[in-house]
Amino acid sequence: MKEYTNETLVSLACEARENAYCPYSGIAVGAALVTESGELFLGANAENAAFGPSICAERAAFAAALEARGIWPEMVDGGHVVLICTAQDG
């Protein structure tokens, strides 16, 4: 199992933040999610003019895990996940 330091996770979340689409708020957010088994998933926020269809970075990371595994991470790992987010204003 691969382990990540908090510093590494913050760095990865900052890298993920580069993929954010935030023309309305100007606040880019990145997330790094690590499952108990050491799998890493990244996400970034994506805004929509209607705001309802927008997705936060945390949900994007969970969606990446769902897409890769076909199930939610907590259903496999007993609910133990680490999620670190970083934000940067425009």
Instruction: Identify the active-site residue in 15, 36, 39, 58.
Output: 58
Contact yes or no for 87/27 (Cβ under 8 A): yes
Distance CA 19, CA 4 (A): 21
Q: What is the CA radius of gyration of the chain?
A: 13
Q: What is the dihedral of CA 16, 82, 61, 3, to 10 degrees?
A: 60
Q: Is 15 a catalytic residue?
A: no
Residues assigned a catalytic role: 58
